[in-house]
Amino acid sequence: MEYDKLMQPLLEKNSTPPFSYASFLRHINNRGDIPKRQQTLDLDNYETPLASKLKSERAQRQVRTKIGQELDMKGMRKFLTQNGPWDQLISNANIDLVNLEASKEIILNKSLSVTPFHVPHRDEYSETVGFKIKGKDKTALFIPDIDKWNKWGQSIIKEIKKVDYAFIDGTFYSGVEIGHRNIAEIPHPFIEESIGLFEELSLQERNKVYFIHYNHTNPVLDTESKACKKIQDKGFNLARKNDRFKL
């Protein structure tokens, strides 16, 4: 395909580029054919040990506990077992599906457990879930995908107070970057909205918050941007590749 055609999803500001573009984006990262800020759009930057949902063109968004074993919600199980090529992972015994239920704790080992919970989002092919990750000494909240906070049946303020780290949806900084796209098609809480909502938190509580899951249009990808400074000045954090958090 021609370069312009390959770049079209980026030009249209899709919140998640097609999975098929991964190798192309990695290639042009190395060539330097796109601006520095967009060069950060290597899909590897968006992979997480505990993923929140399945998008049609990003197949490996199951909850992974170890190589060869996948946890699943009912929608995820249905998708994996009834759709190719992913059903081959099961028929070829590459993975074993393990049932996963909302609000039911899964013990991974002596010092680590995860508890999934439903969050409102698009749910095109599978449920959207967040996780509470409990370690030996600390607990983390993990919500990379959600609609608006007021659509959730829980108080995000109360949930932040219960944990040591809160890794939350920072897909878009504001509606300005979306341009002509209908926000109803790509709903997320804007970082601007979140920091406004979280202003009632103490500085200590704000320090728990790490925004994650940045769209390629998000100005926070530029560490020198005004958006980054505003977020950090208010006591919040921006997660970066290779960050490590001990639980």
118-122, 183-187, 205-209: range with lowest mean pLDDT:
183-187
Please report whether residue 183 resides in a domain: yes
**Secondary structure class of 233 (helix, strand, coil):** helix
**Secondary structure class of 247 (helix, strand, coil):** coil
Across the chain, the runs of DSSP E, i.e. the strands, are: 63-66, 69-72, 96-99, 106-109, 112-118, 129-134, 139-143, 165-169, 209-212, 237-238
Please report whether residue 226 resides in a domain: yes
pLDDT of 101-114, one tens digit each? 888 999 999 999 99
Parallel/antiparallel/unpaired status of strands 139-143 and 165-169: parallel
Number of domains in the chain: 2
* Report field, pTM of the whole predicted structure over 0.75: no
Which tokens hold the place of 228? 């980054």
Please report whether residue 105 resides in a domain: no
DSSP state of 57: T
Write phi, then psi, for 234 (nearest 5 degrees).
-90, 0
Please report whether residue 35 resides in a domain: yes
Please report whether residue 70 resides in a domain: no
User: How far lies 97's CA from each of 6, 70, 182, 214, 243, in Å?
Assistant: 35, 5, 36, 29, 29
Please report whether residue 125 resides in a domain: no
pLDDT of 31-61, one tens digit each? 444 444 443 333 344 344 444 444 433 334 3
Estimate to the nearest angstrom the gap between the alpha carbon of 203 and the chain centroid: 24
Domain that holds residue 208: 138-242
Please report whether residue 164 resides in a domain: yes
Please report whether residue 63 resides in a domain: no
pLDDT of 225-236, one tens digit each? 999 999 999 999
